[in-house]
Structure 1
Amino acid sequence: MLEKPIKKWFVHNSRLSVAPMMDWTDRHCRYFHRLMSQHTLLYTEMVTAPAVLHGDRDRLLHFDPAEQPVALQLGGSDPAQLAQATRIAADLGYAEVNLNCGCPSDRVQSGSFGAVLMENAPLVADCVAAMRAATDVPVTVKCRIGVDDQDPAVVLPDFIARVSSAGVDRLSIHARKAWLQGLSPKENRDVPPLDYDLVLAMKGLFPHLHLSVNGGITTLDQAVAFLDRGMDGVMIGRAAYHTPADILLDADARIFGGGLSRTAEDVVHLMIPYIESHLAEGGRLGQITRHMLGLFQGRPGARGWRRHLSEQAHADGAGPQVVLDALDHVTRLAA
């Protein structure tokens, strides 16, 4: 096996990551999240390898350097296409390229990638070997513990062994099966039971690999507990999106031992120049503020904040003052 050492930043930043989420973790979301945590590893939405090769790369792949460290998640099952897309991602400056082996949507299944790849570990090994040969940027995999009637206790260690033999030294494991027959993508995020013990057991079987646990983790307390139990990293999805302040504002101190120390109000004010720049380029306010709705979740004034942004951000000519007016709903009650 051709080995490449895990880079130091890679070990550090991937102790906590925000999961790639379709329609959610776009560049505006990532910029917003980065203002709350200096160190947390951020992921793009999944982009298919053919889209990278033939689509609008500026729209699909553009990111602000301030988002770093940021990883591109690719979807695909053709080794040559994935290698080309990986090379492009590396040239654009992405810090990592991740192969999606966990998405259960019908569209992904029909394209023979995503969670259905759990049924073809040799193909995944070929894919990641080609990706690694294309660049020195870390290549990683995000997977489920199995699909449909597979026995995860058998399938998962075999999958990890085959992928790691192709040179991948980090995987993020969603601790649920994906039911490709009978459950919707939404149901696949909640209905299959979580098996954290199996994921923890994989760290015992593969101590040389960097393994992150994903699925159903909603607090930093849970993240710290998994790290204390030996996991190398924790990946948080919906909670980091819907209640970002609860997850990210304390992440640098609790997970990384230091970094940013900001309030949610600080983050709002720091977003204003970014919003102004986006509007000057012809963008619309709502494209950014939709990611900010949960910033004050659980605090007095949170409902007024959400309502004001929801009602005003999509109006013609809406600008930064809409955001500052929404913030007044929170600051008046905090005074």
Structure 2
Amino acid sequence: MTGKAISAARLSVAPMMDWTDRHCRYFHRLLSRETLLYTEMVTAPALVRGGALHLLDHNPEEHPLALQLGGSDPEELAQAARLGADAGYDEINLNCGCPSDRVQSGTFGAVLMKEPGRVAECVSAMRASVDVNVTVKCRIGVDDQQPQEVLPDFLTQIRAAGCMRVTIHARKAWLQGLSPKENRDIPPLDYDLVHQMKADFPDMHISINGGITSLDQAQAHLEAGLDGVMIGRAAYHQPTDILAQADMRIYQTGAAVDPIAVVQDMVPYVERHLANGGRLHQITRHMLGLFAGRPGARAWRRALSEGAVQNGAGPEVMLQALDRVAPMAEA
């Protein structure tokens, strides 16, 4: 599956805390068979010291699938990567981009942009422990760093350690003064720098991330020479716009997916989840944006958000919500 992850990385859905859990990924996979999906960030200490192996649970249908790890200790990351590979993930990704306080206090995430040597040690240790691809997701720099200087050095060091695939969020991260949410919007985007890195490191597989909200934009970056595009919030909030046509437009395979059919295809998955003691809203909270920008979108969101939290709510809530959308979509 390693080769599959490389080809799939032409388009990927970003790892997003509290969003890209296994239910979200199963839903996204019904919209696109080809797009590379990522887990939420899982910390290496949680797996290695905490024994929280349930965090690695996923469905076989989610592949091609990458595990994103957070950490800064090479040996611990190597152990966590091995657990991930043993669990069947197609790629292990090291988070060097998250700016949250919790991540900083653990000396990983975006703060690692200040320690490329340590990142290289982590990559080397992880690669030695697994046979699947080890990749990195990073920023263009942090705080007062000069991205034109630090990013080439960062890439040089991780490439020397054997990392040949990197996803670059085209913004700085400000570790002091901006919240994680503000860090997703306020620092200016520098797409040109990411494209320059592809020119300077032609042997590396470089994907771009940050502020990309449409397949048109994704295609433009690919046509300009980048190897991949990672989309975050737009893929979550408007999944049909991004994912339902991704296979056809980005991978030149298949056809556009009907979101109504996706809802129907989710029913068996919902039934299994409920039979195992789960709640409907744990799944449907990820589906609220399915009809974004389409007739009936508001009725769908309201029926689903209000109905799914009720005791005993089952797939009929989802299908009744769909009944409010279908006639409007056909009108």
Q: TM-score, normalised on structure 2?
A: 0.98
Instruction: Determine the structure 1 residue equivalent to 2:86.
Output: 91
Deviations 1:53-90 (A, max 9, x none): 13354531100000001100000000000000001100
1:45 is paired with a residue whose SS is coil
Instruction: Determine the structure 2 residue equivalent to 1:316.
Output: 311
Distance 2:87 2:325 in 1: 39
Give 5+ residue unaligned stretches, structure 2: none
2:67 to 65, 68, 72: 72
1:266 is paired with a residue whose SS is helix
1:291 is paired with a residue whose SS is coil
1:184 aligns with 2:189: no
* 1:1-335 alignment, distance < 5 Å: 8-55=3-50, 57-259=52-254, 261-335=256-330
Q: Compared with structure 1, are the counterparts of its residues 122 and 256 closer, same or farther at alpha carbon in structure 2 (3 Å cutoff)? A: same
Kept in 2, the 8 Å contact 1:37–1:260? The answer is no
2:318 is paired with a residue whose SS is helix
1:161 is paired with a residue whose SS is helix
What count of residue pairs does the alignment treat as equivalent? 330
Distance 2:157 2:53 in 1: 34
Instruction: Determine the structure 2 residue equivalent to 1:3.
Output: none
Deviation at 1:334, TM superposition (A): 2.7
State the one-letter code of the partner of 1:296.
F
- Superposition misfits of 4+ residues, deviation over 3 angstroms: 54-58
1:294 is paired with a residue whose SS is coil
Q: Compared with structure 1, are the counterparts of its residues 238 and 136 closer, same or farther at alpha carbon in structure 2 (3 Å cutoff)? A: same
State the one-letter code of the partner of 1:213.
I
Kept in 1, the 8 Å contact 2:72–2:118? The answer is yes
Deviations 1:238-278 (A, max 9, x none): 00000000000000001001035420001000000000000
State the one-letter code of the partner of 2:84.
A
Identity %: 67
Q: TM-score, normalised on structure 1?
A: 0.97
CA RMSD, 1 decimal: 1.1
Distance 2:283 2:190 in 1: 35
Deviation at 1:11, TM superposition (A): 3.0
Kept in 2, the 8 Å contact 1:171–1:212? The answer is yes
